[in-house]
Chain A
Amino acid sequence: MKSRLSITQWLAALLLAMAPFLFGREVSASDQSSPSDGPILRIGSKAFTESVVLGELLSHLGRHAGARVVHVAELGGTQILWNALLAGEIDAYIDYTGTIREEILAKSQSQGANLETEEAMRSALAKQKVLMSGRIGFNNTYALGMREDHAIRLDIRSISDLKRHPDLLFGLSDEFMERRDGWHQLANTYALRPKRVRAMDHNLAYRGLVHDSIQVTDLYTTDAEIRFFNLRVLEDDLGFFPKYQAVLLMRSDLVERAPDAAKALLKVQGLVDPAEMSAMNARVRLDGKSETYVAGEFLNNKLAMGLALPSMSQAAEWRRTGERLARTTLEHVFLVAVSLALAILIAVPMGVVSARNERVARVVLGVVSIIQTLPSMALLVFMIPLFGLGAVPAIAALFFYSLLPIVRNTYGGLRQIPSSTRESAEVLGLGPWARLRLVELPLALPSILSGIKTAAVINVGTATIGALIGAGGYGAPILTGIRLSSIPLILQGAVPAAAMAILAQGAFSRLEKKWVSPRLQASGA
């Protein structure tokens, strides 16, 4: 009894400590303090470097205009950001015209709306109370590129010029080989007949260019590597590649709610040219600067905003690593503990009811099994309209995933009690509740605890996806690590997550020793 109490107290303390995370997570890596009384401005970004840099750039602009900025960074895809924008979980983020046309407005497009022009897209978005700004100034689309020195020697400026050099070896990314707007259409349009085309990994293609084992590759026009490897981006003189012009998407109500901040955000129009974007990506990916730092540096140079930049010293880096580990640990424990606690509260009674009624059991076990098969990404997207972004939708998703092992083991544990034992308790004169409490649940406890243990261990692993919707946790450094190809950063998430899973396993094994009657442990149900 004593140990149970202390665990309850511990959980309660944890809940209190973590309460702020329930209401959205401040992911912004910036160290700047925000004014304390300005309007709240929520910025979103996707899980790739350019998007995070632009998110930090918007954050600086908003903060400079007096807003309290929350940057919900590295969200898991266009659909999540778009739904979050519609739900008011974020106020603004930067997307690309090609993506807006193909993914966000896909429905209106399939219904025959003509969305060729940006003006048409702008009015389609306005119907959903979303403002689309003018162009930011760079187009991040596919292009072909080659080494600058080769291009000069062979006098190649545009894709059409490649026709004169059919001997060049093409090394193209697998995705580009497959896409509708990829290699085959491109070759047709430009009548390119190179002698040799090889499909290869995008990162290896850059290495191949440097070592001259290939001469032409596909790239994104703002890739950091363009500067690093000194590449020339060939002009798309026939206009083959669709435009992916960067634009700001902003909720139209922001203009009334925070006019100064809205006006400040619109400063991004025409602010960043392709070379500048590419250089900022390179500062992060190749020079290892933080996104906050790079975006602030850019604004200081271009608009003389005089922002204080975070220190980039080694000591500051260590401090940030420590802080990140502490923060992500708290967030992760919070996600797992709350979702697991809720699941226990709901799933154990569900198991008890199922064990009493076979028809209910079939329905309940069927439904929780189906929930288990839902892809986590889909479940997360469903949660956003209901719960917004941050810890709450992640906890809801984890809760659903925890139900099956606990319900099934509660049901199974109760069903395996021999009928003679159940009847003995009944004839003794114990009422239904007393039988459950004094006899049936204690006998099913080993099975129930092992179900909870399974749920906890699965939960620790699954909670890493919470980072996709801004819930933080160990998934955040993993996501950033993948984005920056930084193994150390990935390990900062993966290693503690594995350690926590082992700890959870150990903790429940100890609880088992403590709570389960010694005579039932050997049988280890």
Chain B
Amino acid sequence: MFSLENVSKSFGQTQVLKPTTVEFPVGKSTVLIGPSGCGKSTILRILVGLLQPDSGIVRFDGETMSGQTLLPMRRKMGYVIQEGGLFPHLTAFENITLMANHLGWDRPTCQARVEELSDLTRLPASALNRYPAQMSGGQRQRVGIMRALMLDPPVLLFDEPMGALDPMVRFELQEDLLKIIRTLSKTSIMVTHDMGEAGFFGDQVLMLAEGEIIQHGTLEDLIHHPANDYVTRFIRAQRIPQV
């Protein structure tokens, strides 16, 4: 679905992404993990076209990404960030249907699609008429996911979507999100620094450090066959409560 070929990116003197080649397979979920500043968010931002790579090619659905192809490509992607990135001046319903409205969907179609999505994400119907500031963090995140799913895009991209949630809400939402991805069999790409989350979502895990991919495999590969010492230390650093 998505692939990077020799893509690199620098900010000033610092190379935040060394020339990287990677494939994101259709229908699978890939998790990008690593410490802050390792380049995982840079990859995601290049994939959605918020950053232009200095070199290399980004391919999406068989086409090369460029200024001209970007707009139609984006309508085939759903992008979810921390707190949902909702527009504060619009209600949940207006946030979700903004793009569909802009593309000329009629009201009943929108309404039906939103109902379908609120069942899927388990958002209470009463929340649909609230503004982002009137919702809980978990509800905002669910609305963000509904907005990303509205046009039924084949690809979903998540930039630390659970980052701002408290543990209980996060736990519930993780389960719901995985169910959604599986049910709809979407291609998904998620950035996180949480090893547990990576294992929970990822069919494949890309471990990054200092601007390059240091290991590419399943979580089990990472645990049992670490590419180097750093991978082991990163995995160990995730504290598990001693009961």
Q: Which residues of chain A have a CB within 8 Å of any CB of chain B?
A: 420-421, 423-431, 434, 438-439, 442-443, 516-520
> Which residues on the B side are within 8 Å of A434 (C-beta)?
102
Asked if B74 CB lies within 8 Å of chain A CBs, one says: yes
Complex Cα distance, B86 from A136, in Å, reads 78
> Which residues on the B side are within 8 Å of A520 (C-beta)?
88-89
Contact B71 A423 (CB under 8 A): no
> Which residues on the A side are within 8 Å of B86 (C-beta)?
424
A423-B85 contact in complex given A429-B75, A517-B90, A519-B132, C-beta closer than 8 Å: yes
Asked if B60 CB lies within 8 Å of chain A CBs, one says: no
Kindly supply a per-residue 1/0 record for chain B positions 52-70, scoring 1 wherever the CB is within 8 Å of any chain A CB and 0 otherwise.
0000000000000000000
Kindly supply a per-residue 1/0 record for chain B positions 198-215, scoring 1 wherever the CB is within 8 Å of any chain A CB and 0 otherwise.
000000000000000000
Complex Cα distance, B133 from A518, in Å, reads 11
Complex Cα distance, B82 from A427, in Å, reads 14
Min Cβ gap B66→A in Å is 15
Complex Cα distance, B99 from A423, in Å, reads 14
- Give 7 A-B pairs besides A420-B85, A428-B98, A519-B89 with Cβ atoms closer than 8 angstroms: A426-B50, A427-B49, A429-B77, A429-B99, A429-B151, A431-B71, A519-B88
Complex Cα distance, B134 from A517, in Å, reads 13
Contact A519 B98 (CB under 8 A): no
> Which residues on the A side are within 8 Å of B123 (C-beta)?
none
Asked if B79 CB lies within 8 Å of chain A CBs, one says: yes
Contact B133 A420 (CB under 8 A): no
Q: Which of A429, A442, A443, A516 contacts B74 (CB 8 A)?
A: A429
- Residues 17-54 of B contacting A (Cβ, < 8 Å): 48-50
Q: Which of B77, B89, B102, B151 contacts A517 (CB 8 A)?
A: B89
Contact B71 A429 (CB under 8 A): yes
- A-B CB proximity, top 10 nearest: A424-B85, A517-B89, A519-B131, A429-B74, A429-B75, A427-B79, A427-B48, A442-B89, A428-B99, A420-B85
A443-B77 contact in complex given A429-B71, A518-B131, C-beta closer than 8 Å: no
Complex Cα distance, B35 from A419, in Å, reads 23
Contact A421 B71 (CB under 8 A): no
Asked if B81 CB lies within 8 Å of chain A CBs, one says: yes
Complex Cα distance, B19 from A79, in Å, reads 71
> Which residues on the B side are within 8 Å of A424 (C-beta)?
79, 81, 85-87
Complex Cα distance, B132 from A428, in Å, reads 17
> Which residues on the B side are within 8 Å of A431 (C-beta)?
71
Complex Cα distance, B104 from A78, in Å, reads 63
Complex Cα distance, B81 from A318, in Å, reads 69
Complex Cα distance, B74 from A431, in Å, reads 11
> Which residues on the B side are within 8 Å of A425 (C-beta)?
87
Contact B89 A420 (CB under 8 A): no
Min Cβ gap A427→B in Å is 4
Min Cβ gap B131→A in Å is 4
Can you offer 7 A-B residue contacts whose CB atoms are under 8 A? A420-B85, A421-B85, A428-B99, A438-B102, A443-B89, A517-B88, A518-B131
A427-B89 contact in complex given A434-B102, A438-B102, A519-B132, C-beta closer than 8 Å: no
> Which residues on the A side are within 8 Å of B83 (C-beta)?
420
> Which residues on the A side are within 8 Å of B99 (C-beta)?
428-430
Complex Cα distance, B48 from A420, in Å, reads 13
Min Cβ gap A39→B in Å is 60
Of listed A421, A423, A427, A431, residue having the most chain B CB within 10 A: A427
> Which residues on the B side are within 8 Å of A430 (C-beta)?
98-99, 102
Min Cβ gap A419→B in Å is 10
Of listed A429, A430, A442, A443, residue having the most chain B CB within 10 A: A429
Closest to A519 in B: B131
Contact A443 B87 (CB under 8 A): yes
Contact A443 B75 (CB under 8 A): no
> Which residues on the A side are within 8 Å of B151 (C-beta)?
429
